[in-house]
Structure 1
Amino acid sequence: MIGNWEDFGRDEPTRYFEFATSYLKASEDVCKRMNALEEENSWSNASVTLMLAAHSVELFIKGALIIRGYQDAWGHTIDDLYDKYKITFPEEYFHFDCPFVTEYVGFGSEEIAIKKKTKHPQASVVFRYPLNKPGLEWDAVHGFEANGFLSILSELGNNYNRLKESLNGL
């Protein structure tokens, strides 16, 4: 039998990194199944893959911020967490491409400022539920291609491994 007691007393960043890695591996497993079996290639499986990956990124960033002493890294907004990460770790070596940041393609700076003030549901929420509320679709259109996303997940895993070594040495 295994249990959460095995983690009692272990340092928090390591625990966050391990959970981030576990969520990432679970995302990869679903994505690989989608890629291998046509009957598994569904939007529900794509959503689960995306939700697991988004939560993985959130936990990884939180683990990194905890190493630098942040005790207020508890929001779920990846945009905000990643912005805080980039400020906290400005060195080029600590950069990684975050696949769940909001991009405002085709908008001017004033429009972007307005859009940033509007609260949007987070990826870990949007991809967790099939509907926003009963009878109400999400206000977005999402697409997914399993093979391409496997490459993103692989790169993310490589970045986690590279960064964990340096972060744990701080």
Structure 2
Amino acid sequence: MSSKLLIDAWPATRTTASSRMLWMADGYAEGALVLCNAMASDDYYPQYTNTRVILHLCRHATELFFKGAIAVKSDKFPKIHRLDTLYAQYKLYYPLDQYQLKLPFPQTVFNPSEGLFPDLLDDYVQTHDQRFRYPIDNKGTPFYDTERFDVLAYQAAIEQFRTELNLLVWAIDSDWPAERLPIRDRSS
């Protein structure tokens, strides 16, 4: 059991809105990792609905990270939820390899117009923010999910995602020079 059972509120006067957004992203990523680790050790029941919770935390962490990082540079928070649009904006402000992180989702979520059949996945991308929060779309149709949740593969991917996100949150929030950030291997 934690020795800290009473946690102080986050004083709004001590941090910027973009900083809060970035650090909340880190909290969601850590929550996803904790739940995935618990599932891997049989402390969180390995069922489909629980995998959606883990993926929703990852997706929300990604969205908040992009929005917070964009706001650091633009002083505006995007009012959209599409990761492909947010990712494109993020890359405009942070084009260097040091600012790219390995995300625990297929690349098609971020670049739906690339690949063998451009824009075929547009509907999937448009509803990506809903797929892990709700069992059905806004018309009442169940989402058709085909991917399996490989607990150990996701555990490794989410651990890498959370580690890289934590470093980038700190670096962006503290205005750390890009040339002092490590360049991560993207070959895998």
What TM-score, normalized by structure 1, do the two folds share?
A: 0.81
CA shift for structure 1 position 20: 0.6
2:137 and 2:50 map into 1 onto residues whose CA distance is 17
Residues 127-142 of structure 1 mapped to structure 2, 5 A cutoff: 127-132=132-137, 136-142=141-147
Contact 1:78–1:101 (Cα < 8 Å) also in 2: no
The corresponding residue for 2:130 is: 125
Give yes or no for contact 1:52–1:124 (8 Å, CA) kept in 2: no
Q: Of 25, 29, 32, which residue of structure 2 is paired with 1:27?
A: 32
Cα contact 2:38–2:44 (8 A) shared by 1: no
Offset at residue 130 of structure 1 (A): 1.9
SS at match of 1:40: coil
**1:169 equivalent in structure 2:** 175
In structure 2, what is the Cα distance between the partners aligned to 1:115 and 1:4? 45
Q: Which amino acid counterpart does residue 27 of structure 2 have in structure 1?
A: S
CA RMSD in angstroms comes to 2.9
Equivalence for 2:180: none
Q: CA deviation at 1:4?
A: 6.0
Q: Pick the aligned partner of 1:97 from 102, 109, 123.
A: 102
- Of the three residues 35, 39, 42, the one matched with 1:37 is 42
Q: 2:18, 2:68 within 8 Å by CA — same for their partners in 1?
A: yes
**Partner SS state of residue 144, structure 2:** coil
Matched, 1:146 2:151: yes
**Higher helix share goes to which structure?**
1
1:79–1:101 CA contact under 8 A, matched in 2: no
Paired residues, number: 167
Shift in Å, 1:134: 7.9
Identical-pair percentage: 21
Aligned counterpart, 1:83 = 88
Which amino acid letter does the alignment assign opposite residue 90 of structure 1?
Answer: P
AA partner of residue 122 (structure 1): T
Match of 1:16 among 21, 37, 50: 21
For 2:50 and 2:122, the matched residues in 1 are separated by: 31
Q: Which consecutive residues of structure 2, in runs of 5 or more, have no partner in the other structure? A: 1-5, 177-188
**Which moved further from structure 2: 91-100 or 151-160?**
91-100
> Do the aligned partners of residues 119 and 47 (structure 1) sit closer, same or farther apart at CA in structure 2, a change above 3 Å counting?
closer
| 2:59 is equivalent to residue 54 of structure 1 | yes
Amino acid at match of 2:39: M
- Judged with a 3 Å threshold, the aligned counterparts in structure 2 of structure 1 residues 70 and 83 are, in CA distance, closer, same or farther, namely farther
Would you say the 8 A contact 1:78–1:122 is kept in 2?
A: no
1:19–1:59 contact (8 Å) kept in structure 2: yes
